[in-house]
Structure 1
Amino acid sequence: MVTDMQEFDKTGLEVPPGAIANQIQTLLKERYKEGFPIIKEILQNANDAGATRLDMGVTPGLPSTEVEHPLLEQPSLFFVNNGGFRDSDAKAIGWIGIDFNAGNSAKIGKFGLGQKSVFHFCESFFYIAESDQLSEKAQSYRFLTPWADGQPMTPRDKSAVENYLEDILITQNYSNYFVLWLPLRISNQPRALLSKTYDYHTIQQHLPRDLDRRISTLIPCLNSLQSIYYWVFSALLG
């Protein structure tokens, strides 16, 4: 995870990447189950952001000729909502070990510990945020990983993801959007937080078969989110 060096300047302490990986492993084993609880957390985050729509789907990955980051070529889960994203969100999404939701009923800190449940599916993730609530100094796109040798998301990578999701972003004419892109944990990775691996087909088997029913029972409890769409690969082909 990228850390805030200004905070380190105040304390004089640092957390090595290995310790971050251990924290995530403990969090996944003791606090967050796989499957629907992860989807539920993402739905809640979208609702907290004031989103009215959430799109989710599975992709076999982007062409190597279009991206610089190799993880974008892997089969992935993606989520897109039309909610806001603030500077505090850009900071909170990269923290481990602090629940930013604790004692805070506002939208600030919606990316607390629960967001880290996505590591059940992946070793690292990307996000892209387009928001009128985000200052120029905040990071609007980013690659986050607990491992020390991660490479950043480039402008070319950002454009490739946005082009792939054009049917969602353009046709809906979003002024605000947040994209969460999860490269699935595959079998030949040199190290892993968990042993379970996925591909384009098996990830769909690990999602609940009654996903639509479970989501429909949550919608009445959400004060902002009104519609949720599931995309398949063929629907996103240009």
Structure 2
Amino acid sequence: MARFDLSDAEWSIIAPLLPNKPRGVPRTDDRRVLNGIFYILRTGSPWRDLPERYGPYTTCYNRFNRWAKAGVWLRVFEALSARSPQSMHLIDSSIVRAHQHAAGGKKGGADHAIGRSRGGLSTKIHAVVDARGLPVRLLLTPGQASDKTTFPLLIEGLRLARHVVADRGFFARSIIERIEAEGASAHIPSQSNVRVRRVIDREIYRQRNLVERFFNKLKHFRRIATRFDKLARNYLAAITIAAARLWARDYESTT
């Protein structure tokens, strides 16, 4: 087994979630193709440099692209994250530099989720993780997007946990009221220019490092740490594939 290949336990978790009704000619071995995709995501290599043991690079790329367009990768991630106990939600974002290959198309715009921030052309990954540091919601925006204005989109349709933790970048009356309206407690400290400071539970707030650690794990995948994909759809697909593997590894370690 190569370094980045799925273990038997990981494959047993992910395999049932993949499409199981190929049309026409039977598909090339799903496990080999998925291992090839993980190789590309972890190493950051161009698709053309995929080792021969994974088969033709065009097969891996076409499968990645076609299933990204069909929403398969997102559904796999959502199926795994649906098992979260959701006792706590921790929210944050992280900026990723867009490589010149990704920025070669139209600059900015919601279709590409590339914008100009302090570090140049970039994308921002927004995430909600649970009490184990595993992602339950992911969203892309251009790099200059505000965490406050993105918050409603990030949690849309998500049943909030009892405790919601975020840093002061999310401090806004509308956000706190939205959280409390759902019966949850908002552990978000006040900004420095606020006269009357909010009182938060420091023990719970310390758990915020879980979302920071999630981003660190996510960026072990070099093709995510730097964005090479022009389409936001494909870049989000790469992120959800990596997130699904984090879930599979957690299942493997607890069974």
Q: TM-score range by the shorter chain?
A: under 0.3
Structure showing greater radius of gyration is: 2
Q: TM-score, normalised by structure 2?
A: 0.25
Q: TM-score, normalised by structure 1?
A: 0.26
Higher normalized helix content (fraction of residues) = 2
